Amino acid sequence: MEAVNSQQELELLANANAVTGLLAEGKFIDAMEEYLADDVQLFEGNNPAKIGKEFCLAEEHKLLDTVVAFHGYKVLSGPAVKDDTTFYEAVMEFRTNDGTEHKFEQVVRTKWKNGKIISERYYHA
């Protein structure tokens, strides 16, 4: 693996670690409020983008309102950084109020600008 070789990459790696730390604590809204750019684009797999911080926050609140048990968010590998992009692999597990147990195994690709997330895509298995 190539070494992190710029101050920007070191800062992005620190940001990515901060985000995953918040997610591991179940602090999804905190992570979004702190790190999403106002004009962010979030993609779930190949679905159309959710555009804008406020819209993304509203959608996350809708999802979280259905969660009755949060079992964890665990980073399996990464984050890794190259230029303005970070990557990591994680597993998220939770139960919703309809009794469904959810387990998302995912790779997350994040593009950054000025310390904020401008584009993020979640590749799920």
Tens of pLDDT, residues 17-44: 999 999 999 999 999 999 999 999 999 9
**What is the distance between the alpha carbons of residues 56 and 21, in angstroms, rounded to a whole number?**
20
pTM of the full predicted structure? 0.91
Is pLDDT at 4 greater than 70 in this prediction? no
Q: What is the pLDDT of residue 125?
A: 79
Q: Is 124 in contact with 44 (CB distance < 8 Å)?
A: yes
Residue 54, domain member (yes or no): yes
Tens of pLDDT, residues 43-69: 998 999 999 999 999 999 999 999 999
**What is the distance between the alpha carbons of residues 27 and 14, in angstroms, rounded to a whole number?**
17
Residue 1, domain member (yes or no): no
30 contacts: CB under 8 Å, gap ≥ 6: 22
Q: How confident is the model at residue 2 (pLDDT cuts 50, 70, 90)?
A: low
| % of the chain with per-residue pLDDT over 90 | 91
Q: What is the CATH number of the domain that holds 93?
A: 3.10.450.50
Q: What is the pLDDT of residue 3?
A: 60
Consecutive H or E run containing 56 = helix 53-64
Residue 103, domain member (yes or no): yes
State how many domains the chain has. 1
